[in-house]
Amino acid sequence: MDRVALRGLKARGHHGVFPREREEGQTFIVDLVLGLDTRPAAADDDLAKTVHYGVVAEEVVDVVQGEPVDLIETLAERIAQQCLKHDGVQEVEVVVHKPDAPITVPFDDVTITITRSRA
């Protein structure tokens, strides 16, 4: 299986369990690895036979900016399900970064990584 990766998609969302997170929002960063067979697209040099990563990027940003959820686990699942709606995508790895999580000690990042497939 081939891989198409999108790294560092940024969007502001209002996800979290604390009122401040819901009211003020924060930046979330998403990394994706889409698993698909790119041979048909490469053979014909045809965008219609692969995944349009620009469209996927816009859809992922829409999910992050959309309906708030408490957990980044839920957000990652919603992103994965959106990616799997594309016909050629057989599997997806989603990493959601929450670099401004409300943690009281110094830290660099909080992430959740999930992998989902059609099977």
Active-site amino acid positions: 98
SS (H, E, C) 37-54: CCHHHHHHCCHHHCCCHH
Asked whether 81 and 32 are in contact (CB, 8 A), the reply is no
Measured in degrees and rounded to the nearest 5, phi and psi for residue 12 equal -95, 130
DSSP state for residue 72 in the 8-state scheme: H
Asked whether 63 and 78 are in contact (CB, 8 A), the reply is yes
Asked whether 82 and 35 are in contact (CB, 8 A), the reply is no
**Euclidean distance between CA atoms 94 and 45, whole angstroms:** 27
